[in-house]
Chain A
Amino acid sequence: MKILVTGAGGFLGAHLVERLLAHGYTDIRCLLRERSKAERLLSLSAAYPAAQVEMCFGNLRSKADCARALAGVSLIFHLAAGLKGSPAELFADSVVASRNLLDALDGREGFPTRASRVVLVSSFGVYGVAALPRGARVDEQTPLETHPERRDPYSQSKLRQEQLFRDSQREKGFELVVLRPGVIYGPGGGAFSNRVGLQIGPLFFHLGGSNLLPLAYVVNCAEAIVVAGTHSDSAGQAYNVHDDDLPTAAGYLRAYKKQVRPIRSVRLPYFMTRMLAAALESYHRRSQGQLPAIITRSKAAAAWGGNTFTNAKLHALGWQQLVATSDAMAQTFASLRTQGKPR
C-alpha cells in the first residue's frame, strides 16, 4: 500500500513520516514544496532501510502536481495547509489545494476512489465554541462553527476545508477520517499558542489563566494520526487530538519563564478580556477598521472561554501518549532556550 503524506516538509509532516515508518509502513511518498525540506525526511528514512520513502516536489495549487502525487496511492494523509499569510493565501493553500487533491482522486487507473482512504488533519478551530457556556466540554459531538465570518481566517479556512472533504466523501464514496488536533507543539515549533496569550509590543498579555491548554506534543499527535488514520473502525469518524495530562495556560507560562527565559507578562482575567474585546470591536467598527480588531468577543470565547477537553474517543482506538507531557514540555523548552525571542 502506497501512502501519500502532503505537507511532509512541515513541522508535523516529518514526525508523521517517522511514526508511519515506526509502525512498519514501507511505501511512503512525501509531497513537499521546498527541496530544502527533503534532507530531514531522507535522514529519517535511513533508519528504515527496508522502507521506500519517495520525495515528490510539487504544489497542491497545481492540478498536475496533485495528479502526479496521487498516482498509485490508496491512503492519503493530508496535512498541507496554509498557516500564515493573507486570508486569500490561507484559502488558496488550504481549500483550493484540498479541492485540487480531491479532484485528482478520480480517474487513477487501478486505484478506484471508493477504495481510497483520506485522512484529513483539521483543527480545534472548526468548533463553534463561542456559543457554548463558559467551561463547557469540547468533544467530537460539539457543533461546528455556524458563524465563520466571526472567526479568524485560519479557522474559516479549516472549517471550509472540512466541509469540502465531507461533501466530496459523500459524492465520491472514499473513506474519510478527520483528526482535529489542539495546540501542536514541540522542538522546532512556536513557544506560545494564542490560548496562552498574545505578545503585544514588549509585553506578553496572559489571557489563558487557569484554562486547560489542549496541548498535543508533535510526536504524540503524529502517533494519533497514524493510529486513527489506519484503524479499521475510524472511517467516517472525527477525533480530537490532545495529550492526557494537560497543563493550564498559567502553568505553561510559569514553566516557560522558569525553563526558557523570563518574560514580562500581564495577566488579564477573562471578564476584562471580554470587555477589551467588546471595546476593540466597537472601535474597529466605528473607525471603519483604522485599528485591527485583534480580539473580538467571538475569538475571546473560542480561545479563552475555559473549555475542557476529552480525547476518550481517540483512546478507544488504542492510541497511547508516547511522550509524557512533562517530558514533552522539557524537550520543547530545551529547544526554545537555544532560539531567540518567543514566537
Chain B
Amino acid sequence: MGLKIAIVGCGKIADAHVEEVRKIPSVRLAAVCDLEPIMAEQLAMRYTIPNWYSDIEAMLDAEKPDVVHITTPPQSHLALTRQAVAAGCHVFLEKPVALRHVDVEAIIQAAVDAGKKLSVNYWPNFEEPALELRRLHEAGTLGDPVHIESYYGYNLGGEYGTAFRRDPEHWVHRLPGKLFQNVLDHALNKITPFLPDQHPQLEAIAYCGDHAAEGNPSSQLLDELRVMIHGAQTSAYVTFSSHARPIEHSLRVYGTRNTARLDFMARTLVLERQQAFPSALGRLFPPFLTAKDFLRQGMKNANRFRQARFHYFDGMRRLLSEFYLSVDRDTAPPIDYGEILRVSAMMERIFSQVYPEVFA
C-alpha cells in the first residue's frame, strides 16, 4: 500500500494516532504539524518521527502526504479539511467532527467535491465485540431492535477532565455543547446502526452532578446527561454520567428475539437468550449459562492478549487499517457519511435542548 501519513495537531490524542499508525506495517508516518512549534517538536522527538512543521501549508507542500489525520480541536476542522483535500489528501478526523452540524455537512461535502475519502475516529465501534454485535444483528440473531441503551461514563478527575476543569480557556469550554460535545459521538454512534429512524423524537435533560459546586455558579459544569430517543419502532436511552462508579461504557440492544449486552471496558459481548427451561429450572440455569458466556469471552480476550491484539485503541488500529485500505483500493470508507451526519444532527438537537441560549 505504501501510504504516506501526516498528523496535524500534536495534543494528547495525537499520541494515540501515532501509536496506532505505527502498528500498520504498510503505511509510513512521515511528519507531524502543530501551530505551536514546541508541541510539534515534542511529538516528533518522543516518537522519532522524521519531520515536524508548524505550518500545514509547508508540510503539505514538502511531504505530499496521502492521508492527513486532523487531531486539532474541532473549531479548526472545517478549514483544515478544506486545506488538506485541496492539497490532494484524504482525511481522517478526530471527533467531535465540528462545532455545528452545518460544518459537518460542509466537511463531508468538501471531501466529496475533491474526490477524497474521509473518516472519523469512531473507534469503539471497531472493537472486536462491537463488530461481533453488528454481525449478530445482521444475521437476525437479535430480531428487530426494540430498545437500545447506550451508557457512557466519564472520569472528570482523569488527566483530560482535570486539564479542562482547571483551565477556563480550554477549548472544550468553547464548544456549543461544552463537555458533552467532546464525548457524545461515542455514545450516539453506537445507537445509530440499530435505530432505523432518520429523524426520531428526542428529549434531553442535563444537570450538574457535582454537589460540592452547588451555590458556586462559576464551577457548575453540566456533567450528567440523559437522552430519551423515540423512533417509529425503536426507542433508545443515552446516559452520560461523570459521577457514577465504576466508569462504564456499555451498550444493550433489546431485540424481538434476544438481547445483547456489550461491555466496552471489559470487551465482552453476552447474549441474553429466551429461556426454554420450564418453571424453576428457567430461573436456575440462566446464571450458569451467562457465566459460561463470560468465561468464553474472557478466554477470547486472553487469546487476544497473548497475540498482542488487546491494546486500548485496538479499535482505532482496525478502523485505520480499513480506512487506508479504502483509500488504496478506492472503495467506500469504513464509516458511511450518512452515519456521521445522523450522529451529528442528533448531537445538535440534544445540545439545542441542553444549551438553548447557545442555539437560540
B19: CB under 8 A from chain A? Answer: yes
Stretch of B38-46, B178-186, B271-279 on the interface side: B38-46
Known A149-B45, A288-B311; contact A89-B163, beta-carbon cutoff 8 A: yes
Stretch of B9-17, B111-119, B188-196 on the interface side: B9-17
Tell whether, in the assembled complex, residue B159 and residue A89 are in contact, meaning their CB atoms are under 8 Å apart: yes
Binding site for A on B (CB under 8 A): 10-12, 14-15, 19, 22-23, 36, 38-39, 42-43, 45-46, 48, 159-160, 162-163, 166-167, 169, 305, 308, 310-311
Chain B residues in 8 Å Cβ range of A198: none
- For window 120-164 of A, CB contacts with B under 8 Å fall at 148-149, 153, 156-157, 160
A173: CB under 8 A from chain B? Answer: no
CB distance from B162 to the nearest CB of A (A): 7
Chain B residues in 8 Å Cβ range of A289: 19, 311
Tell whether, in the assembled complex, residue B39 and residue A88 are in contact, meaning their CB atoms are under 8 Å apart: yes
Tell whether, in the assembled complex, residue B167 and residue A59 are in contact, meaning their CB atoms are under 8 Å apart: yes
Q: Which 3 A-B pairs have the closest CB atoms?
A: A287-B308, A86-B12, A91-B42
Chain B residues in 8 Å Cβ range of A95: 38, 42
9 A-B residue pairs with CB within 8 Å: A61-B167, A62-B169, A85-B159, A91-B39, A91-B42, A96-B39, A156-B46, A288-B308, A289-B311
A251: CB under 8 A from chain B? Answer: no
A245: CB under 8 A from chain B? Answer: no
A92: CB under 8 A from chain B? Answer: yes
Tell whether, in the assembled complex, residue B166 and residue A34 are in contact, meaning their CB atoms are under 8 Å apart: yes
Q: What separation, in Å, do the CA atoms of A61 and B167 have in the docked complex? A: 10
Q: What separation, in Å, do the CA atoms of A286 and B309 have in the docked complex? A: 11
B19 and chain A: residue at smallest CB distance: A289
Which of B14, B43, B45, B162 contacts A148 (CB under 8 A)? B45
A99: CB under 8 A from chain B? Answer: yes
Which of A86, A96, A153 contacts B38 (CB under 8 A)? A96
Which of A33, A62, A149 contacts B46 (CB under 8 A)? A149
Q: What separation, in Å, do the CA atoms of A96 and B46 have in the docked complex? A: 16
CB distance from B215 to the nearest CB of A (A): 15
Chain A residues in 8 Å Cβ range of B45: 148-149, 156
Q: What separation, in Å, do the CA atoms of A99 and B42 have in the docked complex? A: 14
Q: Mark A87-126, 1 if CB is under 8 A from B, else 0.
A: 1110110011001000000000000000000000000000
Chain A residues in 8 Å Cβ range of B308: 286-288, 290
CB distance from B16 to the nearest CB of A (A): 10
Q: What separation, in Å, do the CA atoms of A168 and B160 have in the docked complex? A: 31
- For window 281-329 of A, CB contacts with B under 8 Å fall at 286-290
Tell whether, in the assembled complex, residue B169 and residue A61 are in contact, meaning their CB atoms are under 8 Å apart: yes
CB distance from B178 to the nearest CB of A (A): 19
B10 and chain A: residue at smallest CB distance: A88
Q: Is the interface of A mostly helix, strand, loop or mixed?
A: helix
Tell whether, in the assembled complex, residue B159 and residue A86 are in contact, meaning their CB atoms are under 8 Å apart: yes
Q: Is the interface of B mostly helix, strand, loop or mixed?
A: helix
CB distance from A135 to the nearest CB of B (A): 30
A92 and chain B: residue at smallest CB distance: B39
Tell whether, in the assembled complex, residue B42 and residue A160 are in contact, meaning their CB atoms are under 8 Å apart: yes
Known A289-B19, A290-B305; contact A88-B42, beta-carbon cutoff 8 A: yes
Tell whether, in the assembled complex, residue B39 and residue A85 are in contact, meaning their CB atoms are under 8 Å apart: no
Q: What separation, in Å, do the CA atoms of A34 and B165 have in the docked complex? A: 11
Chain B residues in 8 Å Cβ range of A33: 166-167
Chain B residues in 8 Å Cβ range of A91: 38-39, 42
A33 and chain B: residue at smallest CB distance: B166
Q: What separation, in Å, do the CA atoms of A88 and B45 have in the docked complex? A: 12
CB distance from A9 to the nearest CB of B (A): 11
Chain B residues in 8 Å Cβ range of A288: 19, 22-23, 308, 311
Q: What separation, in Å, do the CA atoms of A33 and B170 have in the docked complex? A: 13
- For window 206-220 of A, CB contacts with B under 8 Å fall at none
Tell whether, in the assembled complex, residue B167 and residue A156 are in contact, meaning their CB atoms are under 8 Å apart: no
Q: What separation, in Å, do the CA atoms of A92 and B308 have in the docked complex? A: 32
B313 and chain A: residue at smallest CB distance: A289
Tell whether, in the assembled complex, residue A59 and residue B169 are in contact, meaning their CB atoms are under 8 Å apart: yes
Chain A residues in 8 Å Cβ range of B11: 88
CB distance from A161 to the nearest CB of B (A): 10
Q: What separation, in Å, do the CA atoms of A87 and B13 have in the docked complex? A: 10
Tell whether, in the assembled complex, residue A85 and residue B162 are in contact, meaning their CB atoms are under 8 Å apart: yes
Chain A residues in 8 Å Cβ range of B22: 288
In this complex, the member of B38, B43, B48, B167 whose beta carbon has the largest number of chain A beta carbons within 10 angstroms is B38
Tell whether, in the assembled complex, residue A87 and residue B15 are in contact, meaning their CB atoms are under 8 Å apart: yes
Tell whether, in the assembled complex, residue B42 and residue A87 are in contact, meaning their CB atoms are under 8 Å apart: yes
CB distance from A18 to the nearest CB of B (A): 24
Q: What separation, in Å, do the CA atoms of A110 and B180 have in the docked complex? A: 47
Tell whether, in the assembled complex, residue B38 and residue A290 are in contact, meaning their CB atoms are under 8 Å apart: no
Q: What separation, in Å, do the CA atoms of A295 and B87 have in the docked complex? A: 43
Known A61-B169, A153-B46, A156-B45; contact A88-B15, beta-carbon cutoff 8 A: yes
- For window 142-196 of A, CB contacts with B under 8 Å fall at 148-149, 153, 156-157, 160
Known A85-B163, A89-B159, A153-B46; contact A99-B305, beta-carbon cutoff 8 A: no
Q: What separation, in Å, do the CA atoms of A160 and B14 have in the docked complex? A: 20
CB distance from A13 to the nearest CB of B (A): 16
Tell whether, in the assembled complex, residue B42 and residue A156 are in contact, meaning their CB atoms are under 8 Å apart: yes
CB distance from A85 to the nearest CB of B (A): 5
